[in-house]
Chain A
Amino acid sequence: MKVSCLQDGLQRALAQVSRAVATKTALPVLSNVLLSTDEGRLRVAATNLEIGITTWVGASIDEEGKLTVDARLLSEFVNTLPNAPVQLSSESPRTILTVQSGRDKAGINGIDAEDFPVIPSIDAEAEGFSVEVDPQVLREMIGQVEFAAATDESRPVLAGVLARFEGQTLTLAAADGFRLAVRHGELTQPVPERLDTIVPARAMRELARIIGDQTDPIRIAITPNRSQLLARVGETEFLSRLIDGTFPDFRQIIPREFATRLELGREAFQNAVRRASYFARDNNDVVRLTVHPGEEEFMPGTVEVSATAAERGNSQSFVDASITGPETQIAFNARYLADVLGVLKQGQVVVGVNGANQAGVVKASTAEDYTHVIMPMVIGAQ
Chain B
Amino acid sequence: MATPGIRLLDEQTIGKIAAGEVVERPASVAKELLENALDAGAGRVAITIANGGNDLIEVADDGRGMAETDLEVALQRHGTSKLRRFDDLLTLSSLGFRGEALPSIAAVSALAIRTRERSAAVGSAVEVTFGEVGPVRAVAAPVGTTVSVRDLFGNVPVRRKFLRQSATEGGYIVRAVSAYAAAYPGVAISLTVDGRRGFASDGAGDPVAAATAIWGPEVGSAALPLAPLDEAAAVPGVSVTGWVGAPSVTRSHRNGIVLFVNGRWVQNRALSFALEETYHSLLMVGRHPVAVVRVRLDPALVDVNVHPTKAEVKFVDERAACRAVQRATHAALAGAPRDGLPTMRLGTSGGDVPQQSDLAMGLPRPVFPGATAGDREEPASRGGADADAAHPSGVPVLRVLGQVGGTYIIAEGPEGMYLIDQHAAHERVMYERILAQLAARAVDRQPLLDPLLVELGPEELAIWERSAAELSEIGFEIEAFDEGTVAVRAIPALVRGVNVAERLRLILRELAEGGAGDSWLDSVAISAACHTSIRAGQVLSLAEMRELVAELERSRQPRACGHGRPTMLHLAQHELERQFSRR
Contacts and interface: CB of A to CB of B under 8 A. Distances in A.
Interface of A: 151-155, 175, 177-180, 248, 253, 283-286, 310, 333, 357, 359, 373, 375-382
A382 B442 contact: yes
Contacts of A154: 452, 498-502
A152 B532 CA distance: 12
B444 A179 contact: no
Contacts of A377: 444-447, 493
Contacts of A373: 449
B28 interface: no
A286 B492 CA distance: 12
A359 B451 CA distance: 13
Nearest to B442: A380
A381 B500 CA distance: 24
Interface residues of B, number: 22
B441 A378 contact: no
B442 A152 contact: no
B447 to A, nearest CB: 5
Interface of B: 437, 440-450, 452, 490, 493-494, 497-502
A316 B77 CA distance: 84
Given A284-B493, A286-B444, A375-B449, 18 more contacts: A151-B497, A152-B500, A153-B499, A154-B452, A175-B449, A177-B500, A178-B448, A284-B494, A285-B493, A375-B447, A375-B448, A378-B445, A380-B441, A380-B443, A380-B445, A381-B441, A381-B442, A382-B440
Given A284-B494, A377-B444, A380-B444, A178 B437 contact: no
A382 B437 CA distance: 10
Contacts of A380: 437, 440-445
A155 B501 CA distance: 9
Contact of B452 (A177, A283, A382): A177
Nearest to B539: A24
Q: Which 8 A-B pairs have the closest CB atoms?
A: A284-B493, A380-B442, A380-B443, A154-B499, A378-B445, A284-B444, A152-B499, A375-B447
Q: Which of A151, A152, A310, A381 has the most CB of B within 10 A?
A: A152
Contacts of B499: 152-154
Contacts of B441: 380-381
A281 B499 CA distance: 22
Contact of A310 (B440, B490, B500): B440
A165 B574 CA distance: 67
A373 B442 CA distance: 25
Nearest to A379: B444
A152 B501 CA distance: 11
Contacts of B502: 154
Nearest to B454: A154
Contacts of A248: 450
B533 to A, nearest CB: 14
A155 B493 CA distance: 19
A333 to B, nearest CB: 7
Contacts of B443: 380
Contacts of B437: 380
Nearest to B501: A154
A375 B446 contact: yes
A378 B444 CA distance: 6
Contacts of B448: 177-178, 375
Contacts of A284: 444, 446, 493-494
A283 B497 CA distance: 17
B473 to A, nearest CB: 10
Contacts of B497: 151-152
B500 A378 contact: no
A96 B463 CA distance: 62
Nearest to B554: A311
Contact of A378 (B440, B447, B449, B450): B447
B316 to A, nearest CB: 42
A379 B442 contact: yes
A179 B446 CA distance: 11
B449 A177 contact: yes
B195 to A, nearest CB: 62
A283 to B, nearest CB: 8
A283 B440 CA distance: 12
A152 B535 CA distance: 13
A284 B502 CA distance: 22
B540 to A, nearest CB: 14
A159 to B, nearest CB: 11
Nearest to A336: B446
A253 B450 CA distance: 8
Contacts of A310: 440
Contacts of B493: 284-286, 333, 377
B446 to A, nearest CB: 5
A210 B161 CA distance: 89
Given A177-B448, A359-B449, A373-B449, A378 B490 contact: yes
A180 B444 contact: no
A26 B383 CA distance: 48
Nearest to B451: A177
Given A284-B493, A378-B490, A253 B449 contact: yes
A195 B310 CA distance: 86
A375 B502 CA distance: 22
Contacts of A379: 442, 444
A283 B498 CA distance: 19
A382 B440 CA distance: 7
B494 A180 contact: no
Given A154-B452, A284-B494, A357 B444 contact: no
B470 to A, nearest CB: 15
Contact of B447 (A151, A152, A155, A357): A357
Contact of A180 (B447, B449, B452, B501): B449
Nearest to A285: B493
A143 B78 CA distance: 94
Contacts of B498: 152, 154
A198 B446 CA distance: 26
A310 B493 CA distance: 16
B455 to A, nearest CB: 13
Contacts of A376: 447
A150 B484 CA distance: 26
Contacts of A359: 449
B449 A178 contact: yes
A179 B441 CA distance: 26
B116 to A, nearest CB: 68
A373 B452 CA distance: 17
A339 to B, nearest CB: 14
Nearest to A310: B440
21 contacts: A152-B498, A152-B499, A154-B498, A154-B499, A154-B500, A155-B452, A177-B449, A177-B450, A253-B450, A284-B444, A285-B493, A286-B493, A333-B446, A333-B493, A375-B448, A377-B445, A378-B445, A378-B490, A380-B440, A380-B443, A380-B445
Nearest to A335: B496
A382 B441 CA distance: 7
A27 B83 CA distance: 87
Contacts of A381: 441-442
A161 to B, nearest CB: 16
Contacts of A177: 448-450, 452, 500
Contacts of B440: 310, 380, 382
B24 to A, nearest CB: 58
B500 A178 contact: no
A283 B437 CA distance: 10
A97 B446 CA distance: 56
A316 B442 CA distance: 20
Nearest to A358: B447
B488 to A, nearest CB: 9
